């Protein structure tokens, strides 16, 4: 043992000795360094005496406790774990200074750059010391202001709106997006660059971006100097092919931009992708299309040439899927159209990565390559990180049609890691209660079409806008078949039983003409008309609200078994708040495979979104919708089969407020809408941000104009045969002596008049969820229509 | 047909001109230079190289993809690693068989749905 | 139209309100002398907690030993017991970290094999079903192999050898599932390469039989009949009474051929490779 340890009162000599692998000067130096880093000794040194190495360690002033005071933003145990000065260790000046620097860095990152930290030691009677770190956190130091210099084309406000980082304002105490974070600023500037490229500024670049901490304002002022350069137009676009049997003309249709357009970075990228995919289809698996632009600054034009040439001949040796702790291997592997042994093709790999992200099962998806076992072999590594796809949702809300509604739902979009989606939800509200369960397998029989089923049971009560309550229980079997990226076709079979009943109790006596209620039906003890003799036009069995004969006739339950399909075309750029694109659906249901109902119902809906040019962030929406229904054979339509529309067709009307209506009972025609068999509607709307309000409040305004009509009531009007078994001439309501309901109904509003309205609405992405207020003024309506100027719907998913 | 790229070329991309240059007696390194690494080799000994390529067609996104064309270029080497025989297997040589669904049982904790949901609830 | 109850307010709202008024700005410092507890007492407190199955606090207690008496035999014993407590809890990631710290600090102590064993078992117990990522099987295999090489005479070797076999079987099963994935999608070359991997790396696992049978299927579907026969022949030679061999026989019969090797007498050579280890 030629190493001796001196001065270690508590430490074990041979353990200290184990730090030294040998006695050469470098090994000794390395060991000393390791001992110093352990933070256990005040100071450590080595000397050589008589051929033996002596290690001097001094453990003076041992630390009893390390304490933090004044910290509330950052918790004490986070600080303790960051600090190297520890209880039972020795006090070391340099180590404490390094600790303070690290603590300041933590505070800087959590938005408190103005924090000050000092330390002091407290001598204890037993010779030990306490180390106390005192923290003054100071107030929040976020981004006070973002300034752009050199931006002439787009206003600073618009550029700041693009960025994730926001300026501090009265909402600062809620949000964290105003904390100064250098990498977020860097990614923001990339967003700005792409925005400029998209609008033709090919020469745009950020000259400098620096953040200066201004103690006066208590925050950072970020100044970004940019050089926009001219807006380029495309002078001409051509394709140069180095591949023997690919002639450029055949690739012409895949160009996404043409001469004369404003230069657009995204369009160039999309063209590269579609060209590469087309060439790969023709067997050139390794080829790539690369854009090359020749700028002509004087004429501010750029000629773009897509060069198609042979890429390196590389094959995929192996696809390794890693990190999938829940999702099954094949659920990920099947998203790759190319497999092992195939030619490496960047475009198909990117598409697979996009699809994997689209699944929503993963926090992060990263596809990387590493060299394979041979020169022309590459290994593709797919690293995924599963995220909790289970969702325990509780949502509540209010809408003028449904009243207060609440929903509890449990859903799992990656059931057992198989990629299947299941959802169980229970709704409870003032006017509607229901439970539904749905299951979907996205890859039915391992093919790329989805299959699933829904089971539902829903009961909605009668209320003043519709005098009957409906209970429907049933299920649907559905398939989802993608034709192309935008078009999908989903056939379905649905079977459900609906029961119509008319409440007849004290507060909703909607059927007391047929079955009088003692004490409530006039003429049967009702205070104003206790005996039948007192009946008059004002007080009779209809005056307390009465369901129309047409509704009474369709009471009872009925089984509907239908097959149908929905053909949808969807090219929206962003699903949650679309700016450009079309969302359209055509669906048709043929009822009659057994069951009582026999009809064919067709509905169509097309919504076209387009950003209004020259004004930023304003979106125009045009909508057209229509529907038709005709009976098969001699089927007699029931009221609930009909289209019964209101605000969804023309805003400003109450639910079931327009279209054919039984006005025979003038006191309660509000709840007796009969619906129709045809409707058509159109709407124009423009949505815009409310200027002056900061973006992160999430408030947007909208102006709209709606027009539409609903017509074609095909039901009976004379119900005498139903009531008395023989067809008699009509007995009209309110005829003495009973002033009863009579045997016929009077249908109004069936003349396909155009109902129209204009209005304004406010859309608020509130912390409680999306909320919409609509206020509409009706311009034209038919006699008997019921208007409702104000409509509110909102709700949240906790 | 509806603009959906239903055609995928799978496996080795063989250049006809280069394939023609592979003659009997050619040493293995030359074949490697001409055709690249083989898609797969024989199970034992590795003295047979197979270049496997396939054309998959799918009219509509949801139809199952069928093998439109399949081509295997087989190069057999003698003991001194010189080309001894060349064979060509087309789609017609392939046999249509249905693969046995029985698999060897495996260990490992089967993913437990209830445990996962509970874990989520406790962390709620 | 009153709004429904407010959503749970975001945590930092409450935070900023309180700190805004400086009410709770962290507790004030007051001197408090921590008594020095002798090492044996801490160790025994730890053991008491172990018996009470309170593994979390037991691990904390043993951790204290290392803090209060660094560079001492107690630190080593503390670390050992801390690893065991974490393994029992089970907090497998912590157990592996502590075990590896022990192996780093005391590479040649009598308990070091046990630390390898605990680290390996921590991974071994987390091996998921074959459809998930088998990373923990790979890590368990790596640690167990080190244990067998470094401490051939340790009492854990027999148990570890069995567990190595299970881990290899699991990795083979993973390659088999991917192989079958490509086989059913008619990407025969990819499937064949995966089954070759199983034969090359895991020929002593139960999956070797099925790998040979799948090779017969793949080559036969491709039309390369001689290779199919070779694979079936190897299967028959090594596993004559396996159900897979019967299937292979039946499959080849549909093509009017029988399993027989093609390239001279290398069959015995294969026998040696497959039968070994």
Per-residue pLDDT reduced to its tens digit, A353-411: 888 887 878 888 889 888 888 888 889 999 998 887 777 777 766 766 667 778 788 88
Instruction: Give the chain A residue nearest B64 (alpha carbons).
Output: A447
Contacts of A334 (CB under 8 A, 6+ apart): A443, A446, C181
Q: Is there a contact between B94 and C209 if contact means CB atoms under 8 Å apart? A: no
Closest CA to B47 of B76, B68, B70: B76
pLDDT at C266 over 60: no
3-state secondary structure of A380: strand
Q: Is there a contact between A481 and B62 if contact means CB atoms under 8 Å apart? A: yes
- Choosing among A7, A14, A15, which should be mutated to test the C contact, i.e. which has the most C CBs within 10 A? A15
**Residue spans of beta strands (DSSP E) within A311-415:** 315-322, 362-371, 377-386, 390-399, 403-415
pLDDT, chain A, mean: 83
Q: How far is CA A438 from CA A407, A408, A449, A656, in A?
A: 15, 14, 17, 29
Query: Mind telling me how many Å the CA of B83 is from chain C's nearest CA?
Result: 15
Instruction: Give the chain C residue nearest B52 (alpha carbons).
Output: C189
Token pair for A129: 């010391």
Closest CA to A570 of A630, A489, A665: A489
Instruction: Give the chain C residue nearest A327 (alpha carbons).
Output: C132
Q: Is there a contact between B50 and C209 if contact means CB atoms under 8 Å apart? A: no
Residues C63, C98: Cα–Cα separation, whole Å: 10
Q: ∠ CA C151-C155-C160 to the nearest 5 degrees?
A: 75
pLDDT score at A151: 87
Residue ranges of chain B whose CB lies within 8 Å of a chain A CB: 2-5, 7-13, 36-37, 39-40, 52, 60-64, 111, 113, 116-117, 120-121, 124
Q: Which of residues 232-261 of A touch C (CB under 8 A)?
A: none
pLDDT at C4 over 80: no
Query: Mind telling me how many Å the CA of C96 is from chain A's nearest CA?
Result: 19
pLDDT score at C269: 46
Exposure string of C129-164, with b = 16+ CB inside 10 Å and e = fewer, is bbbbbbbbbbbbbebbeebbeebeebebbeebeebb
More confident: A624 or B107: A624
A-C contacts at Cβ under 8 angstroms: 142
pLDDT score at A11: 59
Q: Is there a contact between B103 and C180 if contact means CB atoms under 8 Å apart? A: yes
* Percent share of chain C, pLDDT over 90: 29
Q: Is there a contact between C193 and A330 if contact means CB atoms under 8 Å apart? A: no
Instruction: Give the chain B residue nearest C242 (alpha carbons).
Output: B104
Q: Is there a contact between B70 and C184 if contact means CB atoms under 8 Å apart? A: no
3-state secondary structure of A309: strand
A341 in contact with C, Cβ within 8 Å: yes
Q: Is there a contact between B9 and A376 if contact means CB atoms under 8 Å apart? A: no
Contacts of residue A412 in chain B, CB cutoff 8 Å? 117
Q: Is there a contact between A176 and C32 if contact means CB atoms under 8 Å apart? A: no
Residues C31, C62: Cα–Cα separation, whole Å: 26
| pLDDT-flagged residues of chain A (< 70) | 1, 9-12, 38-42, 59-61, 171, 174, 283, 396-397, 399-402, 575-576, 695-696, 767-769, 794-798
Residues A752, A344: Cα–Cα separation, whole Å: 61
Q: Is there a contact between C263 and B110 if contact means CB atoms under 8 Å apart? A: no
Partner residue facing C170 (CB), from B40, B47, B108: B108
pLDDT at C264 over 60: no
A330 in contact with C, Cβ within 8 Å: yes
pLDDT in tens, C217-241: 999 988 888 888 888 888 888 888 8
- Which residue's entry shows tokens 């009077």? A746
Residues A338, A357: Cα–Cα separation, whole Å: 17
Q: Is A249 exposed, middle or buried (0-12, 13-18, 19+ CB in 10 A)?
A: exposed
Residues A733, A744: Cα–Cα separation, whole Å: 8
pLDDT in tens, A718-748: 888 777 778 888 887 777 777 777 788 888 8
B-C contacts at Cβ under 8 angstroms: 107
* For range C153-160, the mean pLDDT: 90
Is A277:B5 a contact under the CB 8 Å cutoff? yes
pLDDT in tens, C73-82: 888 888 899 9
Q: Which of residues 218-277 of A touch B (CB under 8 A)?
A: 277
Q: Is there a contact between B94 and C251 if contact means CB atoms under 8 Å apart? A: no
- Choosing among C2, C6, C21, C29, which should be mutated to test the A contact, i.e. which has the most A CBs within 10 A? C29
More confident: A670 or B61: A670
Q: Which of residues 55-74 of A touch C (CB under 8 A)?
A: 64-65, 67-73
Q: How far is CA A635 from CA A528, A554, A597, A629, C87, in A?
A: 43, 13, 7, 12, 73
C135 in contact with A, Cβ within 8 Å: yes
**Residue spans of beta strands (DSSP E) within A150-287:** 205-214, 219-227, 233-241
Q: Is there a contact between C31 and A124 if contact means CB atoms under 8 Å apart? A: yes
Q: Is there a contact between B113 and A343 if contact means CB atoms under 8 Å apart? A: no
pLDDT at C24 over 50: no
Partner residue facing C32 (CB), from A65, A342, A400: A65
Q: Is there a contact between C187 and B42 if contact means CB atoms under 8 Å apart? A: no
Partner residue facing A174 (CB), from C1, C10, C181: C10
Q: Is there a contact between B54 and C186 if contact means CB atoms under 8 Å apart? A: yes
pLDDT score at A701: 92
More confident: A692 or C51: C51
Touching chains, C (3+ CB pairs < 8 A): A, B
pLDDT, chain C, mean: 81
Q: Which of A294-303, A599-608, B109-118, C247-256 has the weakest average pLDDT?
A: B109-118
Token pair for B38: 């083989």
Helices (H), chain C: 11-20, 39-51, 55-68, 73-88, 92-105, 112-124, 135-150, 157-184, 188-201, 207-222, 225-238, 243-254, 266-275
**What pTM, to 2 d.p., does this model score?**
0.72
pLDDT score at A60: 62
Closest CA to B81 of B35, B123, B26, B38: B26
Partner residue facing B5 (CB), from A281, A313, A412: A281
Alpha carbon B47 to chain centroid distance?
18
- Which residue's entry shows tokens 């209060």? C68
More confident: C93 or A165: C93
A-B contacts at Cβ under 8 angstroms: 76
Query: Mind telling me how many Å the CA of A83 is from chain C's nearest CA?
Result: 15
A406 in contact with B, Cβ within 8 Å: no
pLDDT in tens, A190-215: 888 888 888 888 888 888 888 888 87
pLDDT score at C15: 42
pLDDT, chain B, mean: 77
C193 in contact with A, Cβ within 8 Å: yes
Touching chains, A (3+ CB pairs < 8 A): B, C
Q: Is there a contact between A67 and C6 if contact means CB atoms under 8 Å apart? A: no
pLDDT score at C63: 85
pLDDT score at B116: 52
Exposure string of C24-52, with b = 16+ CB inside 10 Å and e = fewer, is ebbeebeeeeeeeeebeebbebbeebbee
A127 in contact with C, Cβ within 8 Å: no
Q: Is there a contact between C28 and A69 if contact means CB atoms under 8 Å apart? A: yes
Q: Is there a contact between A398 and C13 if contact means CB atoms under 8 Å apart? A: no
More confident: B118 or C93: C93
- Which residue's entry shows tokens 């880093």? A37
Touching chains, B (3+ CB pairs < 8 A): A, C
- Which residue's entry shows tokens 């094999």? C113
pLDDT score at B108: 59
């Amino acid at each position: 043992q030629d190493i001796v340890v001196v001065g270690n009162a508590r430490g074990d000599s041979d353990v200290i000795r184990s730090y030294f692998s040998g006695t050469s000067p470098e090994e000794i130096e390395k060991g000393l360094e390791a001992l110093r880093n352990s933070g256990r000794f005040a100071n450590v040194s080595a000397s050589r005496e008589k051929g033996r190495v002596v290690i001097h360690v001094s453990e003076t002033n041992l630390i009893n406790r390390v304490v933090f005071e004044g910290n509330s933003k950052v918790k004490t145990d986070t600080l303790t774990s960051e600090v190297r000065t520890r209880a039972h260790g020795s006090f070391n000046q340099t180590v404490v200074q390094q600790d303070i620097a690290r603590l300041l860095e933590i505070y800087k990152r959590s938005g408190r750059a103005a924090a000050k930290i000092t330390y002091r030691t407290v001598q204890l009677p037993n010779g030990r010391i306490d180390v106390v770190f005192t923290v003054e956190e100071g107030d929040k130091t976020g981004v006070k202001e973002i300034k752009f210099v050199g931006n002439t084309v787009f206003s600073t406000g618009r550029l700041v709106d693009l960025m994730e980082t926001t300026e501090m304002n009265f909402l600062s105490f809620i949000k964290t997006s105003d904390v100064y974070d250098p990498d977020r600023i860097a990614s923001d500037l990339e967003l700005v660059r792409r925005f400029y490229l998209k609008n033709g500024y090919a020469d745009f670049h950020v000259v400098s971006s620096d953040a200066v901490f201004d103690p006066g304002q208590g925050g950072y002022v970020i100044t970004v100097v940019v050089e926009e350069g001219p807006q380029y137009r495309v002078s001409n676009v051509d394709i140069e092919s180095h591949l023997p049997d690919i002639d450029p003309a055949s690739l012409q249709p895949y160009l996404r931009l043409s001469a004369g357009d404003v230069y657009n970075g995204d369009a160039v990228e999309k063209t590269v992708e579609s060209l590469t995919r087309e060439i790969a289809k023709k067997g050139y698996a390794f080829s790539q299309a690369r854009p090359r632009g020749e700028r002509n600054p004087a004429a501010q034009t750029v000629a773009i040439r897509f060069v198609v040439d042979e890429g390196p001949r590389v094959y995929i040796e192996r696809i390794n899927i890693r990190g999938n702790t829940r999702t099954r291997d094949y659920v990920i592997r099947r998203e790759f159209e190319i497999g092992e042994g195939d030619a490496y093709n960047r475009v198909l790999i990117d598409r697979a990565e996009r699809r994997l992200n689209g699944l929503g099962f993963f926090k992060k998806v990263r596809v990387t390559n590493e060299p394979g076992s041979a020169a022309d072999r590459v290994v593709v590594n797919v690293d995924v990180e599963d995220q909790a796809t289970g969702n325990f949702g509780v949502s509540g809300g209010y809408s003028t049609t449904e009243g207060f509604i609440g929903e509890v739902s449990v859903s799992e979009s990656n059931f057992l890691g198989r990629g299947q989606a299941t959802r169980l939800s229970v709704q409870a509200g003032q006017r509607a209660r229901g439970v539904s369960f749905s299951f979907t397998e996205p890859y039915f029989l391992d093919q790329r079409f989805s299959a699933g089923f829904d089971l539902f049971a829903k009961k909605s009560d009668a209320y003043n806008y519709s005098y009957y309550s409906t209970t429907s229980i049933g299920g649907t079997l559905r398939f989802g078949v993608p034709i192309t990226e935008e078009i999908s076709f989903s056939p379905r079979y649905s079977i459900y039983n609906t029961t119509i009943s008319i409440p007849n109790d004290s507060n909703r006596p909607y059927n007391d003409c047929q079955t009088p209620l003692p004490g409530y039906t006039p003429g049967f003890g009702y205070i104003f008309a206790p005996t039948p003799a007192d009946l008059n036009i004002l007080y009779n069995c209809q005056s307390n609200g009465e369901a129309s004969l047409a509704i009474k006739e369709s009471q009872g339950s009925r089984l509907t078994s239908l097959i149908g399909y929905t053909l949808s075309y969807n090219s929206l750029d962003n699903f949650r708040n679309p700016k450009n694109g079309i969302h359209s659906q055509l669906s048709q249901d043929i009822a009659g495979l057994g069951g009582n109902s026999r009809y064919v119902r067709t509905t169509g809906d097309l919504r076209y979104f387009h950003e209004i040019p020259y004004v930023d962030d304003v979106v125009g929406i045009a909508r057209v919708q229509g529907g038709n229904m005709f009976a098969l054979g001699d089927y007699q339509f029931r009221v609930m089969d009909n289209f019964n529309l209101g605000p969804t067709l023309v805003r400003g009307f109450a639910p079931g407020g327009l279209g054919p209506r039984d006005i025979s009972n003038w006191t309660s025609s509000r709840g007796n809408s009969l619906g129709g068999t045809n409707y058509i509607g159109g709407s124009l709307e423009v949505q815009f941000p409310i200027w002056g309000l900061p973006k992160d409040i999430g408030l947007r305004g909208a102006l709209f104009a709606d027009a539409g009509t609903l017509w074609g009531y095909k039901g009976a009007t004379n119900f005498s045969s139903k009531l008395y078994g023989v067809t008699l001439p009509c007995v009209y309501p309110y005829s003495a002596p009973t002033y009863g309901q009579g045997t016929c109904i009077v249908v109004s509003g069936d003349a396909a008049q155009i109902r129209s309205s204009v209005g304004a609405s406010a859309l608020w992405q509130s912390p409680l969820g999306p909320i919409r207020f609509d206020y509409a003024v009706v311009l034209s309506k038919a006699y008997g229509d019921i208007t409702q100027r104000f409509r509110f719907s909102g709700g949240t998913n906790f | 047909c509806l603009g959906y790229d239903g055609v995928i070329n799978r496996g080795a991309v063989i250049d006809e001109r280069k394939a023609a240059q592979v003659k009997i007696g050619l040493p293995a390194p030359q074949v490697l230079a001409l055709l690249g690494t083989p898609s797969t080799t024989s199970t034992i000994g590795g003295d047979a190289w197979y270049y496997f390529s396939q054309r998959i067609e799918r009219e509509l996104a949801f139809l199952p993809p069928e093998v439109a064309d399949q081509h295997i270029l087989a190069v057999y080497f003698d003991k001194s690693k010189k080309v001894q025989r060349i064979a060509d297997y087309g789609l017609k040589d392939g046999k249509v068989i249905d693969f046995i669904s029985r698999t060897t049982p495996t260990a490992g904790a089967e993913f437990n749905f209830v445990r996962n949901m509970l874990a989520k609830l406790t962390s709620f | 139209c009153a709004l429904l109850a407010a959503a749970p307010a975001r945590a930092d709202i409450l935070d900023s309100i309180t700190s805004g008024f400086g009410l709770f700005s962290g507790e004030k410092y007051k001197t408090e002398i921590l008594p020095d507890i002798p090492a044996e007492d801490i160790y025994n407190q730890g053991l008491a907690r172990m018996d009470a199955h309170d593994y979390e606090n037991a691990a904390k207690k043993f951790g204290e030993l290392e803090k209060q008496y660094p560079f001492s035999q107690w630190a080593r014993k503390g670390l050992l017991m801390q690893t065991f407590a974490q393994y029992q809890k089970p907090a497998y990631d912590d157990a592996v970290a502590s075990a590896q710290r022990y192996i780093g600090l005391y590479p040649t102590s009598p308990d070091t094999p046990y630390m390898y064993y605990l680290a390996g078992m921590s991974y071994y117990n987390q091996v998921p079903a074959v459809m998930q990522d088998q990373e923990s099987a790979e890590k368990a295999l790596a640690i167990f192999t080190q244990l067998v090489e470094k401490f051939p005479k340790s009492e854990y070797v027999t148990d570890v050898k069995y567990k190595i076999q299970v881990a290899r079987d699991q990795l083979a099963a993973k390659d088999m599932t991917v192989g079958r994935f490509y086989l059913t999608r008619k990407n025969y070359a990819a499937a064949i390469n995966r089954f070759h991997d199983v034969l090359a790396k895991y020929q002593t696992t139960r999956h070797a039989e099925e790998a040979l049978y799948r090779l017969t299927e793949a080559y036969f579907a491709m039309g390369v009949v001689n290779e199919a026969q070779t694979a079936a022949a190897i299967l028959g030679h090594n596993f004559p009474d396996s159900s897979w061999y019967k299937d292979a026989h039946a499959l080849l019969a549909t093509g009017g051929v029988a399993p027989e090797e093609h390239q001279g007498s290398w069959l015995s050579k294969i026998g040696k490779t497959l039968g070994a280890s």
